[in-house]
């Protein structure tokens, strides 16, 4: 008789947990996955997928406006926010069903309810107790909001995806990717948007040319950016919300949204009691094999706060399953991981920023700014920025950055080149596809002058 009920119990049915569980089940392991909400996790239900659908919906505003320059008369288009939200919700329900079927097809039991560890091998789920040889923590993260008076009058990205009506005025606190993405959505759909950031610029941690370019493009579109500023308090007033900023500036708005970061979702799991170490943010501390301080307990995804991206969680979950249930020895590498910001215009980036590259040694920088061909007829005042950061000694491309339409699609291909260790000479030897924006990456020849010491 087996010593444990399961070979693996996973807590959290998001991207990383589902990938690990279905692979382990497919390799013949007895697997259960516990989830207190819907199967799919942040990306499918509260993040990447629904947000991208709203981005698509918002972008039609530009498409209708630009169509006249190409001979179309679209008339006076109308927009129905509830219809978009309903369509988005239908797609999420479909995807949830796909995830559930994938788990069932791989003989993974779904345990519905809030889970916690009763001891190092025992998980309690909604009054039921199960034992497992291995336990995987994949509980993701949750929005973090500051303690300011009236914060209960604000929403996070979770609620912003379910608003019953489109607000006319929006104040967004935060300058990260979630903040700028929702700023672009609301702005394109006609709302008056103000972004409040305590830093000098948006997108901390991204390349400075990305930050400066996107901020300028957002401001051209009418998004207000209040730099070096914090929300001090929020009050409900007759016409919506009253927001007081540092410096006693007051703004009236219909919606206040906090996009001020996310924290690992580890509270109440009982991890401390069984010896699993957490850092000061509550993130699960793991080694290169995703193993915690307790050898048979592992963690993947945003709850570890290593690199909070869906493809990373999926790759970590796959590596865990391959190593533990398929006899492989796979270590995750966190270099040259591409990422995107679905702002308007969007951002794509892979590799090192110029600042981080210069900290390693001498670099050559190639940068181009231009009006995309589409807007030679529309007259839209929008610029594309493309940038390559190259190691001066080896000629290897260390970083590739872009702001502009299709940036995420283009950077995905450049990520392959960086992963293969491409040099600038190899990029230069590649023929471009004309006429495209992407060809600019293979035609940049002029180095930007090095900054003065």
Tens of pLDDT, residues 137-186: 999 999 999 999 999 999 999 999 999 999 999 999 999 999 999 999 99
Residues 184 and 190: their CA atoms lie apart, in Å, by 10
Where on the phi/psi map is residue 90: left (φ > 0), alpha (ψ -120 to 50), or beta? Answer: alpha
Q: Which domains does the chain have, with CATH numbers?
A: 6-143+263-325 (3.50.50.60), 151-260 (3.50.50.60), 339-442 (3.30.390.30)
- 31-47 pLDDT, tens digit per residue, is 999 999 899 999 999 99
Q: What is the mean pLDDT of residues 298-312?
A: 97
Q: What's the DSSP call for residue 138?
A: -
Sign of CA dihedral 34, 36, 39, 44: negative
Tell me: pLDDT of 306 over 90: yes
Q: What is the mean pLDDT of residues 285-299?
A: 97
**Whether 10 contacts 31, CB under 8 Å:** yes
Residues 166 and 145: their CA atoms lie apart, in Å, by 22
Q: Which of 59, 121, 152, 434 is catalytic?
A: 434
Residues 226 and 385: their CA atoms lie apart, in Å, by 23
What would the two tokens of residue 16 be? 């990383």
Distance between first and last Cα of the chain: 71
Q: What's the DSSP call for residue 266?
A: -
- 43-56 pLDDT, tens digit per residue, is 999 999 999 999 99
247 — pLDDT class (breaks 50, 70, 90): confident
Where on the phi/psi map is residue 355: left (φ > 0), alpha (ψ -120 to 50), or beta? Answer: alpha
Please tell me the predicted confidence (pLDDT) of residue 453: 62
Helix (H, G, I), strand (E, B) or coil at 36: coil
Q: How far is CA 432 from the centre of its chain?
A: 30
Residues 114 and 111: their CA atoms lie apart, in Å, by 9
Q: By percentage, how much of the chain surpasses pLDDT 70? A: 99
Q: What is the mean pLDDT of residues 307-323?
A: 97
pTM strictly above 0.75 = yes
- Report the mean per-residue pLDDT for the chain: 96
Tell me: pLDDT of 404 over 80: yes
- 99-119 pLDDT, tens digit per residue, is 999 999 999 999 999 999 999
Q: What is the mean pLDDT of residues 19-30?
A: 98
Q: Would you call 434 a catalytic residue per the annotation?
A: yes
449 — pLDDT class (breaks 50, 70, 90): confident
> What count of Cα atoms within 13 Å lies in the side-chain half-sphere of residue 370?
15
- 65-87 pLDDT, tens digit per residue, is 999 999 999 888 999 999 999 99
Residues 11 and 122: their CA atoms lie apart, in Å, by 12
Please tell me the predicted confidence (pLDDT) of residue 450: 80
């Amino acid at each position: 008789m087996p010593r444990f009920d399961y070979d693996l119990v996973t807590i959290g049915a998001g991207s990383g947990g589902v990938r690990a569980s279905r692979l382990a089940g497919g390799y013949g392991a007895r697997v259960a996955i516990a989830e207190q909400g819907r199967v799919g996790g942040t990306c499918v239900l509260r993040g990447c997928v629904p947000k991208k659908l709203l981005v698509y919906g918002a972008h039609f505003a530009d498409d209708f406006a630009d169509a006249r320059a190409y001979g179309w008369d679209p008339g006076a288009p109308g927009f129905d926010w509830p219809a978009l939200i309903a369509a988005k919700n239908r797609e999420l329900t479909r995807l949830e069903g796909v995830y559930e079927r994938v788990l069932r097809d791989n003989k993974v039991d779904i345990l519905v309810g809030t889970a916690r560890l009763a001891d190092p091998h025992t998980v309690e789920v909604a009054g039921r107790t199960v034992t497992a040889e291995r336990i995987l923590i994949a509980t993701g993260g949750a929005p973090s909001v500051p303690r300011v008076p009236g914060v209960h009058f604000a929403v996070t990205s979770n609620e912003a995806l379910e608003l019953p009506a489109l607000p006319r005025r929006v104040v967004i606190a935060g300058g990260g990717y979630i903040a700028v993405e929702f700023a672009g959505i609301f702005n394109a759909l006609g709302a008056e948007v103000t972004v409040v950031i305590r830093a000098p610029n948006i997108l901390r941690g991204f390349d400075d040319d990305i930050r400066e370019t996107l901020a300028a493009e957002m401001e051209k579109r009418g998004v207000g950016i209040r730099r070096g500023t914090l929300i001090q308090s929020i009050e409900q007033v007759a016409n919506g919300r009253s927001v007081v900023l540092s410096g006693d500036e007051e703004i009236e708005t219909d919606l206040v949204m906090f996009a001020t970061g996310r924290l690992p979702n580890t509270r109440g799991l009982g991890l401390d009691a069984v010896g699993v170490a957490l850092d000061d943010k509550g993130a699960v501390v793991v080694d290169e094999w995703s193993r915690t301080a307790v050898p048979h307990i592992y963690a993947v995804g945003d709850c570890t706060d290593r690199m909070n991206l869906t493809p990373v969680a999926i790759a970590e979950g796959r590596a865990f399953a391959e190593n533990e249930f398929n006899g492989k020895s796979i270590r995750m590498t966190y270099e040259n991981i591409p990422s995107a910001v679905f702002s308007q215009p969007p951002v794509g980036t892979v590799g090192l920023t110029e600042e981080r590259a210069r900290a390693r040694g001498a670099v050559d920088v190639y940068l181009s700014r231009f009006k995309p061909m589409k807007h030679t007829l529309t007259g839209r005042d929008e610029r594309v920025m493309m940038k390559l950061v190259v190691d001066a000694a080896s000629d290897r491309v260390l970083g590739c950055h872009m702001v502009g339409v299709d940036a995420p699609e283009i950077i995905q291909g450049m990520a392959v080149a960086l992963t293969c260790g491409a040099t600038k000479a190899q990029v230069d030897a590649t023929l471009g596809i004309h006429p495209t924006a992407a060809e600019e990456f293979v035609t940049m020849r002029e180095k930007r002058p090095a900054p003065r010491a």
